[in-house]
């Protein structure tokens, strides 16, 4: 589609249609699209979050975005990984159900283990769907600012039993005045995944600390523990989807928690990093520049 044709199509369209170039800048827009966007001057950039805020808006590209083929390749790899990850709990579930039919089997115990496998599969599906919403822009991450301390207290209370069972102590150092550029749900998801990661991997007797602070340059959310830490070779890959280090391979996690955290933080304009030394714990720090 060339620019002249794009303008002709948009001008004659009764639907909210906007045509963008490969940099997501407006080339043409119908009258209804201009009304929805409070103006559609050529050259104005329509980011993914703005488009997601208008679900009726039909976005067309003048030419295929340059990242499209790379995205398709990534999506194919993601689909293959999801299929692989789902096969594991389903295979274990089938084995448990078959064992329950054998004479003398402990049916109650096998059914409980089967229930855990179903929960594992459900958690994985939920995380996959949520990450898909984030990556397609259907879930808006940043909309105003949220006071951090009340959400921290809520999440810590919700995970208290899990932490007790893992013999992990949770400490909080949060400035009650600090707010982050995240919707409440996104802040809750971020904290839940960071704390769950520490509870799952830090080890018995560890302390996990949630710290929220503000400097002249940035607002900082850090979740750290003094547990086992992460091997140097694993550290650069912590935020990859489905990646698990050696000590995590036998865990019940989905392998998506830190990938979700990274996507939320970066979508809100923040930066995230992980630092660790074996035996000296792990720290995950999100910074939002002022």
DSSP annotation of 237 reads G
pLDDT at 46: 85
Whole-angstrom distance, CA of residue 41 vs CA of residue 184: 33
Which residue has better confidence, 3 or 268? 268
Range with top average pLDDT, 53-57, 76-80, 119-123, 184-188: 184-188
Residues 22, 66 contacting (CB under 8 angstroms): yes
Of 281, 145, 106, which is closest to residue 209 (Cα–Cα)? 281
pLDDT at 63: 64
pTM of this structure = 0.57
pLDDT at 195: 94
Average pLDDT estimate for 8-14: 75
Which H or E run includes 275?
Answer: strand 271-276
pLDDT at 222: 94
Residue 248's pLDDT band (boundaries 50, 70, 90)?
A: very low
Average pLDDT estimate for 1-28: 78
Average pLDDT estimate for 124-131: 68
Domains along the chain with CATH numbers: 3-61 (no CATH), 68-136 (1.10.287.130), 146-289 (3.30.565.10)
Whether the predicted pLDDT of 70 surpasses 50: no
Residue 21's pLDDT band (boundaries 50, 70, 90)?
A: confident
pLDDT at 105: 86
Task: State both tokens at 10.
Answer: 């948009």
Per-residue pLDDT tens over the stretch 232-247: 888 888 888 776 654 5
Average pLDDT estimate for 257-277: 88
Residue 113's pLDDT band (boundaries 50, 70, 90)?
A: confident
Per-residue pLDDT tens over the stretch 165-210: 999 999 999 888 899 988 888 898 899 999 999 998 899 999 999 9
Task: State both tokens at 138.
Answer: 């259907």
Task: Mean pLDDT check: name the lowest of 43-57, 85-99, 248-262, 276-290.
Answer: 248-262
Q: What are all long-range contacts of 16-21, with beta carbons under 8 Å and residues at least 24 apart?
A: 16/54, 16/56, 16/57, 16/58, 17/57, 17/58, 17/60, 18/46, 18/57, 18/58, 18/59, 18/60, 19/60, 19/61, 19/62, 20/46, 20/59, 20/60, 20/61, 20/62, 21/61, 21/62, 21/63
Helix, strand or coil, per DSSP, at residue 127:
helix
Per-residue pLDDT tens over the stretch 128-137: 666 666 666 5
Residue 278's pLDDT band (boundaries 50, 70, 90)?
A: confident
Range with top average pLDDT, 4-13, 132-141, 165-174, 245-254: 165-174
């Amino acid at each position: 589609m060339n620019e002249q044709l794009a303008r002709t199509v948009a001008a004659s369209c009764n639907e909210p249609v906007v045509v963008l170039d490969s940099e997501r800048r407006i080339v043409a827009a119908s009258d209804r699209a201009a009304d929805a966007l409070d103006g559609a001057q050529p050259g104005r950039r329509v980011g993914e979050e703005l488009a997601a805020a208008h679900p009726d808006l039909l976005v067309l590209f003048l030419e295929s975005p340059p990242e499209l083929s790379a995205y398709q390749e990534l999506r194919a790899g993601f689909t293959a990984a999801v299929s692989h990850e789902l096969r594991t709990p389903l295979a274990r579930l089938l084995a448990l159900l078959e064992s329950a039919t054998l004479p003398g089997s402990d049916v109650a115990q096998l059914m409980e283990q089967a229930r855990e496998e179903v929960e594992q599969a459900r958690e994985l599906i939920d995380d996959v769907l949520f990450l898909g919403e984030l990556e397609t822009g259907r879930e808006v991450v940043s909309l105003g600012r949220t006071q951090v301390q009340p959400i921290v207290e809520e999440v810590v209370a919700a995970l208290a039993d899990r932490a007790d069972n893992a013999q992990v102590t949770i400490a909080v150092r949060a400035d009650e005045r600090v707010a982050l550029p995240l919707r409440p749900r996104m802040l809750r998801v971020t904290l839940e995944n960071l704390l769950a990661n520490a509870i799952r991997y830090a080890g018995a007797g560890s302390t996990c600390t949630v710290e929220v602070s503000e400097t002249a340059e940035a607002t900082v959310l850090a979740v750290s523990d003094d547990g086992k830490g992460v091997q140097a070779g694993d550290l650069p890959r912590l935020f990859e989807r489905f990646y698990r280090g050696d000590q995590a391979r036998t865990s019940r996690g989905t392998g998506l928690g830190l990938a979700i955290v990274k996507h939320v933080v970066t979508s809100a304009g923040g930066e995230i990093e992980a630092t660790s030394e074996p035996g000296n714990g792990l720290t995950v720090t999100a910074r939002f520049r002022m």
